[in-house]
Amino acid sequence: MPWLVALGILIVVSLSWYAWSLTRQVKALDYQRAQARQDALFSIQILIDSYLTDQVDRSECLLRIRVLLDAHQENWLSILELTRFHEVSEAILAMPFGEARQQIDATTRKEHDADRRQLLQIHEAELAAELKRLKEWVNQ
């Protein structure tokens, strides 16, 4: 009978230790997610500043902002209502980029570049206003 009590105590201690270690792992993962989200928001802020001061290729910058938002802010569109940003970034995302862009011929690439420039010029003021609003949200 005493061995049953000892076995019971051993099982309870083992399960308690396992629960404690799982809780510690969850807290570590939560911290890593929060840190990744903060890093993404900081990167978005830098990208917006670069976009607004015309230091980078604007279509590339919009894509990078979009990727960071999609990865770290699942419901950004409903929260922020960045309709023009969404529309333009969707159009740019529909065009080949990266390695796929290298596979297309030069004429098609130039057409895509012209389409991107036209999109950015047509919606320049609205994009700037929405990016400023996004920057304010990031700074909160």
Domain segments of the chain as ranges: 2-139
Check whether 3 has a pLDDT greater than 90.
no
Question: What predicted TM-score, i.e. pTM, was given to this entire model?
Answer: 0.79
pLDDT at 97 over 80: no
CB atoms within 10 A of CB 65: 25
Cβ contact 78:58 at 8 Å: no
Task: Please name the amino acid found at residue 10.
Answer: L
Task: Please state, in angstroms and rounded to a whole number, the distance separating the CA atoms of residues 136 and 140.
Answer: 7
pLDDT for the residue 117: 92
